[in-house]
Structure 1
């Protein structure tokens, strides 16, 4: 992939750039999905949310040894008040953040590491994030082997069309509400917390039920389930950071997975891809 590369997401051009082998995606372009004329305003609204700041702060703690935690604590304490506002420039200057940056010129705008960009896309629209993730994956596959690229976006989605057009399959894909016994059960692996929330079983339980299947429980997941799983990974990290117990996190993640799967399966955009 070149330094700057454009992908097409639901008719919107989204620029991707690479810095030190990490991919950064234009938040300015993503914001245009919600309002093409007020992208800066949309981005500022997202950044003034306390949950957004907690996620950004956690990402910086994990990836940036020079992150200014003292300034971050001050910002977090102000979040939620009516007078509070936050811009990318202020965030970068006050916390020495590296997950977001702004630049001018032909490929200008506000960019963010893909982890953060996908989080922003979720806030904009779960459906839009699905298309963004798929197009980004296509770009990465093209980067790995441009001479053998045979993957096609429309063809890939056609494989799941039958699954998203019948109520019976929708009911099968949407996660079940966990019972109190399942919620209280302690799982050794954090990955199985996500598996339980989304699939209703652990990786070992799935293997027991499917001894002849190749791969694992996540290899058999639908595109929609993988998008929700990606969302839950970042949400779970934030919940752990906030000190929430495992049982509380499992209950909340299960509720989130049900809500997001329902939203994705009802997305009008997917219904049109026949």
Structure 2
């Protein structure tokens, strides 16, 4: 997932994803506090912080080096003790903290750890941090729900289209020999017969109450194939093929392309259960 950000008491705080979890920039969190980035190392030097980080890693990280952690825990609290995020990660294989380079660089922490750091900085800042983080997660959840509903709707529509195809309502009929030798009045009707199995006049006669023409009533798939047929027909005309031969070829192409498009439509709905 791409980097996101929230605004906490006027400070823009970056959030990124790692191990499919949200990580919050500690570097951004300290921007408006006296001491800046030095506060992160000051917090890491605290013995209670080391104990908290150790417990978090033991719960969440199978690869955590507990032996190295024991050595760090024993040293924590002494005046000479020093611990940076990089040193902690390299020594213990920790995953709760990590340093990131680039535009959104800095020290990042899993949200559990970032909230703990927020408490150390300021209880007020922590509360606003949690509030804005939750607002972000709620917005993301709503967006995901809308996307799911949209996909669900598409699946229902695709299912109905596929059902129609099974009933052979959308697959062009294979023309009779008599139809293929008939010379139609226009190239437009030649394409109509190749795709729809009838001329524009025949469609109007069969659909007296339908507004518009047969192409207005066409499905998206039919219109895609019709566009392809127009290009192919132009090539066949340049080749000097008579209308009857072009009609037979175009009808075969229309049948093949419609089947392919409707099969692709069926693939889209795999994994969805239509109502």
The TM-score, its normalising length taken from structure 2, stands at: 0.51
Match of 2:206 in 1: none
Structure 1: runs of 5+ lacking an equivalent: 150-274
Deviations 1:205-240 (A, max 9, x none): xxxxxxxxxxxxxxxxxxxxxxxxxxxxxxxxxxxx
Does the residue aligned with 2:83 lie in a helix, a strand or coil? coil
Measure how far apart 1:5 and its partner are: 0.3
CA contact (8 A) 1:33 1:124 kept: no
1:10 corresponds to: 9
Take 1:136 and 1:17, find their aligned partners in 2: how far apart are those partners? 12
Query: Residue 71 of structure 1 is aligned with which of 63, 68, 72?
Result: 68
Whole-Å separation in 2 of the counterparts to 1:74 and 1:147: 45
Does the CA contact (< 8 Å) of 1:102 and 1:111 recur in 2?
A: yes
The separation in 1 between residues aligned to 2:134 and 2:96, in whole angstroms, is: 20
Q: Deviations over 1:42-92 (max 9, x none)?
A: 000000000000000000000001101011000010011111111000000
- 43, 49, 56: which is aligned to 2:40? 43
1:207 aligned partner: none
**What's the CA shift for 1:39?**
2.7
TM superposition shift of 1:20: 2.7
Residue 109 of structure 2 aligns with which residue? 112
Specify the alignment match of 1:176 in structure 2. Answer: none
Whether 2:32 is the aligned partner of 1:53: answer: no
Deviation at 1:16, TM superposition (A): 0.3
The alignment status of 1:136 with 2:109, answered yes or no, reads no
- For 2:134 and 2:92, the matched residues in 1 are separated by 31
Root mean square deviation of aligned Cα: 1.6
Q: Matched residues in 2 for 1:133 and 1:13: separation? A: 14
Separation in structure 1 between the aligned mates of residue 104 and residue 81 of structure 2, nearest angstrom:
30
Would you say how many aligned residue pairs link Structure 1 and Structure 2? 146
Distance in 2 between the 1:39 and 1:56 partners? Answer: 21
The aligned residue for residue 98 of structure 1 is 95
Residues 31, 37 of structure 2: 8 Å contact kept: no
- Structure 2: distance between partners of 1:120 and 1:63: 18
Larger Cα-atom Rg: 2
1:98 positional shift:
0.3
User: For 1:242-261, what aligned pairs fall within 5 Å after superposition?
Assistant: none
Partner Cα distance (1:126, 1:42) in 2 = 15
Shift of 1:147: 8.4
1:148, CA displacement in angstroms? 8.6
Q: Who is 2:23 aligned against?
A: 24
TM-score normalised by structure 1 residue count: 0.51
- Counterpart of 1:34 in structure 2 is 33
**Structure 1 residue 32: Cα displacement:** 1.9
Q: How far did 1:18 drift?
A: 1.0
- Please, which runs of 5 or more residues in structure 2 have no aligned partner? 147-275
What is the distance in 2 between the residues matched to 1:17 and 1:136?
12
Is 1:123 aligned with 2:120? yes
